[in-house]
């Protein structure tokens, strides 16, 4: 059995998740907000792997869900970047505060 306690991995993923939350809340640049989002998704992946390895090692579904999350994160990042590039082309900025043309 591995020597790393499960609690330490959970604390690591918690800290990483809330670092991502902090970045998402404080940044106004859309690409920087996307980076915070990627950190959050990765911390969730760490949790899936850790729970699968420690609590249900006879099954393998946690690893499968990690793979699906990675695939969906790739699709999400690609769509987000397409939207950001389109926004930059029409308004010449990528600031979340100033992007209000759909608001009124």
Partner 1 sequence: MMDPSLIAFYAISAFILVTGFMTVISTRLFRSAIYLLFSLIGIAGLYFLLEVEFAAAVQIIVYVGGIVVLIIFSIFLTNQGGASMPFPHLIRRNVGAAAAMAGAAVVGTLAAAYEWHPFPITFDTSMSRIGHMLVGTGEGSLVLPFELVSVLLLAAMIGCIVIAMKSRHEEK
Could you tell me which of 61, 41, 56, 60 has the C-alpha nearest to residue 6?
56
50-79: contacts with partner 1 (CB under 8 A) = 50, 52-61, 63-64, 66-68, 70-79
Residue 84 sits in the site that holds partner 1 (CB under 8 A): yes
Q: At what angle do helices 30-54 and 61-91 cross, to 10 degrees?
A: 180
8-37: contacts with partner 1 (CB under 8 A) = 8-12, 14-23, 25-29, 31-32, 34-36
Tell me the number of residues near partner 1 by CB under 8 A. Answer: 72
Choose, by CB under 8 A, the member of 44, 49, 98, 101 that binds partner 1: 49
Least separation in angstroms between residue 48's CB and partner 1 is 9
Least separation in angstroms between residue 58's CB and partner 1 is 7
Residue 96 sits in the site that holds partner 1 (CB under 8 A): no
User: Within 13 Å of residue 61, how many CA atoms lie on the same side as its CB?
Assistant: 3
Residue 91 sits in the site that holds partner 1 (CB under 8 A): no
| Dihedral angle computed from the Cα positions of residues 17, 19, 21 and 25, in that order, rounded to the nearest 10 degrees | -170
Phi then psi for residue 8, to 5 deg, are -65, -40
């Amino acid at each position: 059995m591995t020597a790393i306690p499960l609690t330490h991995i959970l604390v690591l993923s918690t800290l990483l998740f809330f670092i991502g939350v902090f970045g998402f809340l404080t940044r106004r640049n859309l690409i920087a907000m996307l980076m915070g989002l990627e950190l959050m998704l990765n911390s969730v992946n760490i949790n899936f792997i850790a729970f699968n390895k420690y609590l249900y090692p006879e099954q393998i579904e946690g690893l499968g869900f990690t793979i699906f999350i990675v695939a969906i994160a790739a699709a999400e990042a690609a769509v987000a970047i397409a939207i950001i590039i389109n926004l930059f082309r029409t308004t010449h900025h990528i600031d979340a505060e100033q992007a209000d043309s759909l608001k009124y």
